[in-house]
């Protein structure tokens, strides 16, 4: 029993530690992910009874096929081009196997214990904001330099996601101290928004209205047009208030529009944040046209093709030297693995997102499971939105975090979870508190 308890606690602690590792100089995210997969495999092998296995495969078989589709397409494309892309395949395998193993293990563990992993996301908000404040003080009045962990855009994007998870967790009671816990969570959300503001990341704010709408779906039992209008109004007020209060964000927004206008009308090779992206997106589409179905066979081929695009005046020489990816998850997939790869990547967001949305709108689940579904939907939609202007799956760290968060949220939102998990022992009951 002691060994089983320690494994359960280690499993939950590793889930909690992963966002902290990603958002701090601790690093070692891949090591934590691999250890978590080993523990998940152990739990699946030794605690997966026949009725659990039947339920798991009958209810999640289509989702698992959708998540493994990306790895299959990469194998097909690599075979066609005669060169195996190891890093691309590993990223795809982590997405599929990571969700599959962690979900299977989580369904075997008590849901109240699993919820305790939410503390990791709460703590990660404070940790991330600390780093942002430190970087802001060091570089003021310039934009904070967070390249020692991630770039500022990716950092801000992840920060708003863990802040959203923290806000939804206010619907869970994780300790006997209800009021103190609620105050701490509320302060955490405020701290996260301040941290995001200091990163000066424009794109991350685009997800805030979506997260507010997801919250409305969760906490409004009967969402009518009146409540929907109020939610949309609140979302707009948050955005308007934020950009009104921050002259820095207003300036960056105005600069972004100016850069787009300049790039389209007068200087197509201007070296600016938005024009660089437009040039890279154009190059990605041209690569996609060379092989629309299976792409070039590897994401690494994009950087190799940039010098030739620079010679054709499609991108500037400076962009060709300083950038190696298109700053868009979907265009990178199109250029590397074609239309099949694009569909496979889309399934990474849409397949679990569809499951989460159904569970939120279902009459079967209770509020606790709907909160888990809301967390999952915010993760899928957040990564989808951010992937339009940033390469969120650039590193194994981000791929690992996404897989773990989605698998964790799927287990928490499963309305039949309590039928299969083992009852709490006294030691696990104390741990859940």
Extents of the domains making up the chain: 8-245+330-417, 249-327
Question: Is pLDDT of 348 > 70?
Answer: yes
pTM for this structure?
Answer: 0.89
Q: What angle do CA 213, 152, 377 make, to 5 degrees?
A: 25
Looking up tokens 């569809």, which residue turns up? Answer: 354
Looking up tokens 């780093």, which residue turns up? Answer: 131
State whether residue 395 is helix, strand or coil.
Answer: coil
* Mean pLDDT, all residues of the chain: 85
Question: Is pLDDT of 99 > 90?
Answer: yes
pLDDT score of 390: 87
Question: Is pLDDT of 227 > 70?
Answer: no
Question: Is pLDDT of 252 > 80?
Answer: no
Question: Is pLDDT of 431 > 60?
Answer: no
133 pLDDT tier (thresholds 50, 70, 90): very high
Share of the chain above pLDDT 90, in %: 42
Q: What span, in angstroms and rounded, lies between the C-alpha atoms of 430 and 399? A: 32
Of residues 118 and 320, the one with the higher pLDDT is: 118
17 pLDDT tier (thresholds 50, 70, 90): very high
Question: Is pLDDT of 356 > 90?
Answer: yes
Question: Is pLDDT of 392 > 70?
Answer: yes
Interacting residues of 114 by C-beta distance below 8 A, sequence separation 6+: 12, 15, 106, 408, 411, 412
Cα 57 → chain centroid: 25
State whether residue 303 is helix, strand or coil.
Answer: helix
Report which of 224, 156, 163 is spatially closest to residue 378, judged by C-alpha positions. 163
Residue range 276-294: mean pLDDT, rounded: 90
Q: What span, in angstroms and rounded, lies between the C-alpha atoms of 311 and 274? A: 21
Question: Is pLDDT of 422 > 80?
Answer: no
CB-count burial class (<10 Å; 0-12, 13-18, 19+) for 204: buried
pLDDT score of 427: 47
Gyration radius of the chain over CA positions: 22
Question: Is pLDDT of 2 > 60?
Answer: no
Question: Is pLDDT of 389 > 70?
Answer: yes
Residue range 169-195: mean pLDDT, rounded: 93
Of residues 87 and 4, the one with the higher pLDDT is: 87
Question: Is pLDDT of 103 > 60?
Answer: yes
Alpha helices for 246-326 (secondary structure H): 247-265, 273-290, 300-311, 317-322
> Do 96 and 71 meet the contact criterion of CB atoms below 8 Å apart?
yes
Residue range 76-85: mean pLDDT, rounded: 88
Q: What span, in angstroms and rounded, lies between the C-alpha atoms of 132 and 196? A: 8
Question: Is pLDDT of 16 > 50?
Answer: yes
pLDDT score of 215: 87
98 pLDDT tier (thresholds 50, 70, 90): very high
Q: Locate 87 and state its tokens.
A: 């890093």
Alpha helices for 50-177 (secondary structure H): 50-81, 86-107, 111-115, 118-139, 152-168
Question: Is pLDDT of 29 > 80?
Answer: yes
Residue range 254-262: mean pLDDT, rounded: 82
> Do 385 and 328 meet the contact criterion of CB atoms below 8 Å apart?
no
Q: Locate 361 and state its tokens.
A: 């709108």
378 pLDDT tier (thresholds 50, 70, 90): very high
Q: What span, in angstroms and rounded, lies between the C-alpha atoms of 226 and 52? A: 42
Q: Locate 350 and state its tokens.
A: 């849409």
Lowest mean pLDDT among 69-78, 242-251, 377-386: 242-251
Residue range 269-291: mean pLDDT, rounded: 88
> Do 217 and 361 meet the contact criterion of CB atoms below 8 Å apart?
yes
Residue range 273-296: mean pLDDT, rounded: 89
Residue range 187-195: mean pLDDT, rounded: 93
Question: Is pLDDT of 4 > 70?
Answer: no
263 pLDDT tier (thresholds 50, 70, 90): confident
Report which of 111, 102, 94 is spatially closest to residue 44, judged by C-alpha positions. 102
Question: Is pLDDT of 154 > 50?
Answer: yes
The CA-atom distances, in angstroms, between 85 and each of 95, 154, 203, 351 are: 16, 24, 30, 25
């Amino acid at each position: 029993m002691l060994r089983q308890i320690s494994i359960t606690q280690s499993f939950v602690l590793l889930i909690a530690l992963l966002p902290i590792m990603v958002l701090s100089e601790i690093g070692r995210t891949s090591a934590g992910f691999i250890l978590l997969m080993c523990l998940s495999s152990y739990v699946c092998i030794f605690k997966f009874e026949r009725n659990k296995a039947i339920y798991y495969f009958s209810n999640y078989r289509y989702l698992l096929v959708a998540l493994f589709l990306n790895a299959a397409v990469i194998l097909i494309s690599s075979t066609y081009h005669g060169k195996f892309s190891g890093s691309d395949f590993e990223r795809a395998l982590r997405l599929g196997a990571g969700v599959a193993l962690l979900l299977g293990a989580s369904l075997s563990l008590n849901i109240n214990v699993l919820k305790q992993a939410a503390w990791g996301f709460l703590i990660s908000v404070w940790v991330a904001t600390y780093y942002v404040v430190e970087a802001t003080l060091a570089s003021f009045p310039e934009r904070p330099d967070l390249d020692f962990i991630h770039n500022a855009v990716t950092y801000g994007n992840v920060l708003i996601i863990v802040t959203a998870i923290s806000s939804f967790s206010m619907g869970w009671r994780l300790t006997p101290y209800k009021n103190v816990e609620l105050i701490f969570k509320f302060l955490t959300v405020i701290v996260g928004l301040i941290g995001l503001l200091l990163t000066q990341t424009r794109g991350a704010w685009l997800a805030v209205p979506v997260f507010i709408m997801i919250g409305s779906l969760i906490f409004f039992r009967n969402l009518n047009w009146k409540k929907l209008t109020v939610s949309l109004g609140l979302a707009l007020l948050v955005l308007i208030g934020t950009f009104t209060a921050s002259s820095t964000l207003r300036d960056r927004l105005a600069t972004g529009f100016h850069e787009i206008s300049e790039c389209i009308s007068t200087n197509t090779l201007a070296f600016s944040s938005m024009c660089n992206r437009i040039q890279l997106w154009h190059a990605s589409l041209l690569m996609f046209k060379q092989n629309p179905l299976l792409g070039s066979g590897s994401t690494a081929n994009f950087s190799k093709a940039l010098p030739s695009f620079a010679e054709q005046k499609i991108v500037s020489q400076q962009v060709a030297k300083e950038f190696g990816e298109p700053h868009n998850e979907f265009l990178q997939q199109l250029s590397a693995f074609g239309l099949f790869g694009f569909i496979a990547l889309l399934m990474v967001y849409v397949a679990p997102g569809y499951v989460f949305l159904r569970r939120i709108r279902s009459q079967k689940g209770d509020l606790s499971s709907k909160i888990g579904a809301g967390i999952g939907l915010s993760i899928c939609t957040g990564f989808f939105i951010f992937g339009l202007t940033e390469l969120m799956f650039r590193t194994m760290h981000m791929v690992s975090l996404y897989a773990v968060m989605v698998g964790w949220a799927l287990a928490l939102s499963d309305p039949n979870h309590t039928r299969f998990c083992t009852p709490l022992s006294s030691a696990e009951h104390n741990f859940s508190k």
